[in-house]
Structure 1
Amino acid sequence: MLTFEEKEAIIQEFPELTRKEVSLKRVNYHYEKSLYEKTTVIYHLHPNGNGFVYVGDLPQYEEADDKGLLNIREASADELRKLIKDSIAYLATEEEELVDEEIEEEWKNKEDSKLTLLQEDTLWNIYHGYNLEESFGSYDEAKAYLLAEGFRRVGIR
């Protein structure tokens, strides 16, 4: 687990974020150029290492809570950087443009078989290597299929 200081050092790699102290020694980081009323990227980063990154309703982060926040207590340096980049991009992008972003996820089962879930245009396609395994109209349908088949998403990509 990264320390508070290590997380702050990573967050400070993003000069577009503004640090704001809040109660109980916690800090928030805001993206002031957000196209939305929401500007918070890092929420309640605490000296004990706990904190959250706002990822809204980006489909690759289904672990996010109802408010679109994802806990970063156990995040690696690379995962934290990716989360921050995705959060800033989310807040800097018109909602209609978000649909055009391609999403790719890796899924594995207990036998270590690998499938790739890839958003292509309006479809969610599941590939085994270069071969198309299944195709779905929504992320939720594709995810349900993968879970039912015993696959689990691998890390944050």
Structure 2
Amino acid sequence: MLTFNEKLAIIESFPELERKNVSLGRLNFQFPNSISDKKNIVYHLHPNGNGFVYAGKSGDYETDEKGLVNIRDFSADQLRKLLQSAIEGLSLIEKTASEEAIIGDSSEERWIDGENNQLILINENESWNIYYGLNLDASFDTYGEAEAFLQEEGFSRK
């Protein structure tokens, strides 16, 4: 388990977040550029190491009714990944006209490799399709197959 100071250092490494002191030595961190009314990303980080991070609708975490995940036992990597996911989920992603034509109303995931190549994963017509720009790169029957392929190719979720 990370200490309060270790968690605080990780959270403060995200310049998008603003620290807000609350009662009993607890801290909140807000994302002022949120596209929703939801501004608190970190809620009640306590000196004992307990606290919550907003996971929203990512589906990757078990959340309470407010979309919060308890981070008491998170590792440094888990905490960074959750914070990045929360920020991205509340950020406005500007899509190009071609991306908008492909994505439409579907939800997408963006994946990136070490050379900043970006792929878009979309669930369309009961298939998981991977696009590079306007080009369909690969198609899979399940999300797990698409995810495994992307990871094997050196991509990680953005």
Runs of 4+ displaced beyond 6 Å: none
Does 2:35 correspond to 1:35? yes
Whole-angstrom CA distance in 2 between matches of 1:37 and 1:19: 17
Q: For 1:50-89, list aligned pairs within 5 A.
A: 50-61=50-61, 63-89=62-88
Q: Which runs of 5 or more residues in structure 1 are unaligned?
A: 104-118, 126-131, 137-156
TM-score (normalizing by structure 1): 0.64
Q: Which runs of 5 or more residues in structure 2 are unaligned?
A: 94-103, 112-120, 129-139, 144-156
Summarize the Cα distance change of 1:26–1:70 in structure 2 as closer, same or farther, 3 Å threshold: same
* DSSP 3-state at the match of 1:7: helix
Does 2:108 correspond to 1:100? yes
What do the CA deviations read for 1:73-96 (whole angstroms, capped 9, x no partner)? 0000000000000000011136x8
The two structures, once aligned, show a CA RMSD in angstroms of 2.7
CA positional deviation for 1:97:
7.4
TM-score (normalizing by structure 2): 0.63
CA contact (8 A) 1:90 1:98 kept: no
Whole-angstrom CA distance in 2 between matches of 1:33 and 1:135: 34
